[in-house]
Amino acid sequence: MAAQAIHQFAECITCHAWSPDHSMIAFCPNTTEVHIYKFFTDKWEKLHVLAKHDQIVSGIDWSRSSNKIVTVSHDRNSYVWTQEGQDWVPTLVILKLNRAALCVQWSPKENKFAVGSGAKSVSICYYEQENNWWISKVIRKKHESSVTSIAWHPNNIHLATTSTDGKCRVFSTIIKGVDTRGPHAGASVDWKFGEQIAQLDLSPTWAFGVRWSPSGKTLAYAGHSSMIYFVDDVEGSPAAQNLALRDLPLRDILFVSEKMAIGVGFDCNPLIFAADETGLWSFVRYLDERKVTPSTSKASQLSEALGKLYGQSRQGSSSDTVEPSKPRGGAHENCITCIVPLRKGSESIVKRFSTSGLDGKIVVWDLENHITIPK
């Protein structure tokens, strides 16, 4: 079984993140707090409660090197939490937002973090040593609706965003004094902070879950019309592949290697995607074997319904029987909203990862013995 461990932490989980050594987990139980649990011998115990926000915490990220936790909330605020002894000390970050913060991620070098917001903008925050605080620079242009997810390119400068305006964009976040010219520089030196490098208009409806492949050559994101898009060479001449999903849309994506990605969402079961030698992506299978596979006729009926909602024509045929809705079955009982890698050391291939969802469960998945991961 691919699901290695399942734990019910709450009734509903918004998002989660792991400590650098994977001994602790931080998550938001759909409240204004962040709970940190540590695993002792045979069970999880609540160690800390980070309670500073006064609306739901929509994003958590835990940096691997610097061991800092950043949280963002619908209350428009962000805190960077630093561990001092037994406590976690918050530092307020002025994001300069007038709407909810929706997502957050540390940059690969952990000297910046990006926050997507309902103000149709992205805040890039960096630490100013002299004043001992975090400063925010806002990318206000281009987005026509809320920024639902963000992803850092390995070069620590390019940032991909998705929005409810259906588009995926790549921006430069180069900040003087923070981003030094180095071997990564190259073409990115010409771009100023906040300039849009690329815009992808592939999805007819809302876009979520953008991620870069480990090398940064491929970009993937999900469209709510049950699509997943794989785009190569975004900054140069983008080559996109549109994959239609069999069932319901995705909320988040993870690249486990250069040629394999996992999508999670409303199907409540992780989907495995892989690229062949020519770079052609396709759906492999669902990860959780416990899923009750729907019949092809049901899948096509769903397709037809999706087509109507999003104004596209998709093939479908109707059936005579009214089957009762089947519970999706499997490890998760409700929509999976977040997928986080559990990397061992500096390995580029992700063999284990965790998912959290609206059912309040966090499930740890192990790919090692279940599928060969193409590099």
Partner 1 sequence: MILLQSPSRFLLQILKDRIVSGDKGVDIDCHTVEFDDVRYHVQFSMRNPKVMVLSVALPLAPPEAILYDGLPLGAIDAIKAAYGAVVQILDPPKDCFDLTMKINLTKLPTDEEQRNVVLTQIASVREVVLGAPLKLLLRHLASKTVAPNVDKLVALVHRPNESFFLAPQADKVTVVYPMRFQDSIDIVLATSFLQEFVEARRTAALNNAPSCMWSPVPPLELKGVNADALDANAGFVTFVVFPRHVEGRKLDKTVWSLLTFHAYVSYHVKCSEGFMHTRMRRRVESLIQALDRAKSDAEKLKKLVHGGSFRRLSMKHEGNSNH
Partner 2 sequence: MANTLRLYLTCIRNTLEAAMCLQNFPCQEVERHNKPEVELKTSPELLLNPVLICRNEAEKCLVETSINSIRISLKVKQADELENILAKKFLRFLSMRAEAFQVLRRKPVQGYDISFLITNYHCEDMHKHKLIDFIVQFMEVSKGLVNEQLTARVSLDMFVVSEMFILRASM
Beta strand 207-212 pairing with 196-200: unpaired
Counting residues that bind partner 1 (by CB under 8 A) gives 26
38, 46, 140, 326: residue in contact with partner 2 (rule CB under 8 A)? 326
67 binds partner 2 (CB under 8 A): no
Query: Measuring CA to CA, which residue among 119, 311, 317 is closest to residue 225?
Result: 311
Site track 5-44 with partner 2 (rule: CB under 8 A), x = hit = ------xx-x---------------x--------------
5 binds partner 1 (CB under 8 A): yes
The DSSP letter of residue 193 is: T
Contacts with 161 (C-beta within 8 Å, 6 or more apart), sequence order: 116, 122, 143, 147, 149, 150, 151, 168, 169, 170, 171, 210
Helix (H, G, I), strand (E, B) or coil at 301: helix
Residue 46 forms beta bridges with which residues?
37
Query: Measuring CA to CA, which residue among 151, 275, 148, 260 is closest to residue 211?
Result: 151
Contacts with 211 (C-beta within 8 Å, 6 or more apart), sequence order: 151, 219, 220, 221, 253, 254, 255, 261
358 binds partner 2 (CB under 8 A): yes
Choose the contact partner of 347 out of partner 2, partner 1, none; CB within 5 to 8 A by kind.
Answer: none
Choose the contact partner of 304 out of partner 2, partner 1, none; CB within 5 to 8 A by kind.
Answer: partner 2
- Taking phi first (over 0 means left), then psi (-120 to 50 degrees means alpha), and beta for anything else, what does residue 80 get? beta
**What is the smallest separation between the CB atom of 371 and partner 1, expressed in angstroms?**
15
Which residues in the 43-72 window bind partner 1 by CB under 8 A?
43-46
d(CA 292, CA 299): 12
- Taking phi first (over 0 means left), then psi (-120 to 50 degrees means alpha), and beta for anything else, what does residue 358 get? alpha
Paired tokens of 24: 């602790």
Stretch of 45-53, 107-115, 275-283, 300-308 lying at the interface with partner 2 (CB under 8 A): 300-308
Which residues in the 99-118 window bind partner 2 by CB under 8 A?
99-100, 102, 118
85, 183, 192, 322: residue in contact with partner 2 (rule CB under 8 A)? 322
285's enclosing H/E stretch is strand 281-286
Paired tokens of 225: 């019309």
Stretch of 37-45, 60-68, 123-131, 187-195 lying at the interface with partner 1 (CB under 8 A): 37-45
Site track 129-168 with partner 2 (rule: CB under 8 A), x = hit = ---------------xxx-----------------xxx--
200 binds partner 2 (CB under 8 A): no
Choose the contact partner of 129 out of partner 1, partner 2, none; CB within 5 to 8 A by kind.
Answer: none
d(CA 122, CA 118): 9
Contacts with partner 2 by CB under 8 A lie at 11-12, 14, 30, 55-56, 58, 74-76, 98-100, 102, 118-120, 144-146, 164-166, 205-206, 224, 248-249, 251, 265-266, 298, 301-302, 304-306, 308-311, 318-328, 333-335, 337, 358
Contacts with partner 1 by CB under 8 A lie at 1, 3-11, 21-23, 39, 42-46, 333, 342, 344, 352, 360, 366, 369
